[in-house]
Amino acid sequence: MKIINSNTKKLLDDLMNRSQLDCTKEQQAVEKILAKVRAEGDSALREYTKKFDKVDLAKSSMLVTKEEIDVAYNMLDDKLISIIKKAAENIRAFHSMQKREGFKINLGDSYLGQRIIPMERAGVYVPGGRAAYPSSVLMNVIPAQIAGVKEIIMCTPPLEDGSVYYMTLATAKIIGIDTIYKVGGAQAIGAMAYGTQTIARVNKIVGPGNIYVALAKKQVYGYVGIDMVAGPSEVLIIADESANPKYVAADLLSQAEHDPMAAAILITTSNKLAEQVSIEVDRQIENLQGTKSNAEAAIKNNSGIILVEPIEQGIEIANQIAPEHLELAVDAPEQYLHRIINAGSVFMGHYSPDPLGDYFAGPNHVLPTSATSKFSSPLGVDDFTKRSSVIYYSKEKLKSVYKDIESFAKLEGLDAHANSVAIRFKKE
């Protein structure tokens, strides 16, 4: 793993460029898929599912049956069920604290207020294949449930035998989701955005996916809301001499294994730690099985160790990178937390690795990537609600201010606005 002793500009530029890839070919394919789904509905879904997933939906129900869900649930042993339930409880407890109430300001003969209204229907996309993560089901569904969304539907690609990955179905059953469709890819995003004969149009689409899913979400934004357009995974660790190089290396690889475009950055004040971590990453990477090639590419092309002095310089660099995951692997992390202003999620100390947040602790693992934490936040309850303002004025109250409003409207050259208030008092 390369150690950078001086100018970090190239590394920063390379990180930013990961999300600026030329996707013209994929974009055109997605546009074609979305247009066909919008025009033909279920017929297009069956065509694309047969083409991409090798499954003929004409011979089986697009909607996952209750029996299929029950069979999948029974495939889990009691220990795994218990673990998923514990994780769900932690996620529910954390997100319950995010729920907001409206308010009302009583001003006598007038009042002002704000209503918090849950969305009527949300769509959750759950990937298939190697990225069929049950944790994604928990993290995307539970905040919507707490927000009070009336209807939550799920789309996920089928396996070649026409079934759905059993862990996805079992996790959905544990948290009470039973409207699940065997549709994946950009066509699933189109179905949830536009609606088909079988799949109802939703108000918001959330959930991870491949480049086609990400581009489809980006294109349908405006017809529906979306959570975010996620880029490659990233972790940045700020460490001092108190950090354990084995722990740091393991944490770097925990994100590097996601994707060849993932980024794993260590910022440290310790030359000794930098050298030890570099050696340890090379050693641990050899023990990876199915994700070894991902990790090797990510470490080689998008990662590095940055030496700084003092640690405040490292925090400044971290705020420029604005990482998805940020670990403060230092002796007293609380004294630095207030300096972190751009990060999706912050992990404190030597025993809070980011997989703790990915699966179990409670905060959401759907986090802003590619420096978007400078202006956006983790997925949460607010993502599934809307705010409406409420205004009530009595006749007497409006009479006391209407001339001010009339003058303001005329200042902007909007005569109809001015008349809208003045007309109520012309006789007087």
Residues annotated catalytic, as ranges:
324-325
Of 72, 61, 218, 193, the closest CA to residue 134 belongs to 72
- 322 three-state secondary structure: coil
Instruction: Give the Cα separation of 292 and 300 in Å (integer).
Output: 12
Instruction: Give dist(CA 41, CA 199) in Å, integer.
Output: 9
Q: How far is CA 389 from CA 98, 106, 282, 428, in A?
A: 20, 14, 56, 30
Bridge partners, 237 (sequence order): 266, 327
Q: Which of 100, 91, 18, 175 is nearest to 379 (CA)?
A: 91
Helix, coil or strand: residue 230: coil
CA 180/CA 140 separation, integer angstroms: 14
Residue 160 class from Cβ within 10 Å (0-12 exposed, 13-18 middle, 19+ buried)? exposed
The tally of CA atoms less than 13 A away on the side-chain side of residue 260 is 2
Which two structure tokens, joined as six digits, stand for 18? 């990961």
SS3 30: helix
Q: Tokens for 363?
A: 């905060």
Q: What is the rounded distance in angstroms from the CA atom of residue 210 to the CA atom of residue 259?
A: 11
> Which residues contact residue 348 at a Cβ distance below 8 angstroms, ignoring those fewer than 6 apart?
328, 333, 334, 337
First to last CA, the chain: 81
